[in-house]
């Protein structure tokens, strides 16, 4: 069996890499390289999802005990399945509102919709429909990824990092990995806040609520 300590370290490394990829996505977006920014942002999403999966596995294994070796092998393979990691991003997100639209989005991602977008933003080729190559469909190319599409993807990741980061620092959220949580330094959070100004309404509401609650705690 893979050691829990190694998995714990994978969780730390995955978040470090997610922050790097997110920073790359912002730089590429600002240079007008929208397809590349989009791909980098999805890779960041996958690393965040991986972190959530690993941290959850380590925590439950520590509390409830290890699964049998065959079950753990099956779980380990999930870390190499991109749609599964992309979906896990939402499953462990503090912005998951558990509404029908969110579950529908997660189902679409799990079925490969986001992965197909990632591939389309990377390569020129033919569209696939239910796994089959479409001979009649139009050519897919990265230039179909617009600034709007790229911006929405990057905002999704920045929202997660800001809400999670401030939540960890205010002790409203936990990643079940102390060393991963320590990566959300004041410098990192300031950079996330400064370098990307777009926010979803859900993130704005969540951040405001945390700031108000934290201020009350300080004044008590």
DSSP letters for 70-136: HHHHHHHHHTT-HHHHHHHHHHT-TT----HHHHHHHHHHHTTHHHHHHHHTT--EE-EETTEEPSS
Residues 6+ away with beta carbon under 8 Å from 78: 53, 84, 85
Nearest in space to 38 (alpha carbons), one of 131, 132, 116, 137: 116
For residue 11, what are its two tokens?
């969780």
pLDDT at 197 over 80: yes
What is the gyration radius of the CA atoms in the chain, in angstroms? Answer: 18
pLDDT reading at 49 higher than 80 = yes
Structural domain includes residue 38: yes
Is 34 part of a structural domain of the chain?
yes
Is pLDDT above 90 for 125? Answer: no
Question: What percent of the chain stands above pLDDT 90?
Answer: 84
Terminal CA-CA length for the chain = 48
Q: Within a domain: residue 189?
A: yes
pLDDT value at residue 64: 87
For residue 42, the model assigns a pLDDT of 98
pLDDT of amino acid 130 = 64
Q: How many CA atoms lie within 13 A of 215 on its CB side?
A: 6
Q: Can you say how many angstroms the Cα of residue 29 is from the centroid of all Cα atoms in its chain?
A: 18
Q: Given pLDDT bands bounded at 50, 70 and 90, which one contains residue 34?
A: very high
> Could you tell me the CA-to-CA distances from 143 to 23, 27, 94 in Å, in that order?
21, 18, 32
pLDDT tier at 25 (50, 70, 90 boundaries)?
A: very high
pLDDT value, residue 160: 98
pLDDT band at 126 (very low <50, low <70, confident <90, very high): confident
Number of residues written out for the chain: 220
- Which pLDDT score, from 0 to 100, does residue 134 have? 74
Domain count, the chain: 1
pLDDT-derived band at 180 (thresholds 50, 70, 90) equals very high
Considering the domain boundaries, does residue 109 fall inside one? Answer: no
- 16 pLDDT band, cuts 50/70/90, is very high
Across 163-167, average pLDDT: 97
- Helix, coil or strand: residue 139: strand
Q: Is residue 96 part of a domain?
A: yes
pLDDT of 83 reads: 97
What is the reported pLDDT for 135?
A: 76
Task: Look at 217 and 125; give whichever has higher pLDDT.
Answer: 125
Task: Identify whether 186 is part of a domain.
Answer: yes
Q: What is the pLDDT of residue 67?
A: 84
With a cut of 80, say whether residue 128 has pLDDT above it. Answer: no
Residue 62 lies in a domain: yes
Instruction: Judge whether 121 lies within some domain.
Output: no
Lowest mean pLDDT among 53-62, 66-75, 194-203: 66-75
Cβ 49 vs Cβ 92: under 8 Å: yes
Q: What's the helix, strand, coil split of the chain in %, to 5?
A: 70, 5, 25
Structural domain boundaries enclosing 205: 4-100+146-219
CA 12 to chain CA centroid, Å, is 14
Kindly state the helix (H) or strand (E) to which residue 199 belongs, with its residue range: none
The residue that leads in pLDDT, 30 or 131, is 30
Q: In the numeric block, which tokens belong to residue 123?
A: 């390569």
**Is residue 96's pLDDT more than 80?**
yes
């Amino acid at each position: 069996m893979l050691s829990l300590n190694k998995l714990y370290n994978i969780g730390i490394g995955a978040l470090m890499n997610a922050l790097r990829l997110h920073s790359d996505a912002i730089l590429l977006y600002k240079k007008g390289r929208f397809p590349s920014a989009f791909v980098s942002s999805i890779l960041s999403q996958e690393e965040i999802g991986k972190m959530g999966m690993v941290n959850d596995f380590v925590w439950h294994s520590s509390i409830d005990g290890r699964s049998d070796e065959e079950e753990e092998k099956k779980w380990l393979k999930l870390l190499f399945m991109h749609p599964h990691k992309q979906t896990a991003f939402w499953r462990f997100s503090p912005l998951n509102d558990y509404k029908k639209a969110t579950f529908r989005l997660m189902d679409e991602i799990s079925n490969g919709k986001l992965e197909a977008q990632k591939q389309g933003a990377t390569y020129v080729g033919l569209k696939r429909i239910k796994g089959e190559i479409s001979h009649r469909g139009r050519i897919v190319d990265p230039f179909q990824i617009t600034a709007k599409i790229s911006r929405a993807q990057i905002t999704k990741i920045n929202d997660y990092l800001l809400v999670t980061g401030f939540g960890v620092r205010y002790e409203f959220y936990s990643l079940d990995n102390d060393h991963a949580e320590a990566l959300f330094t004041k410098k990192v959070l300031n950079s996330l806040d400064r370098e990307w100004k777009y926010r979803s309404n859900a993130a704005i509401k969540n951040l405001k609520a945390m700031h108000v609650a934290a201020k009350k705690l300080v004044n008590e």
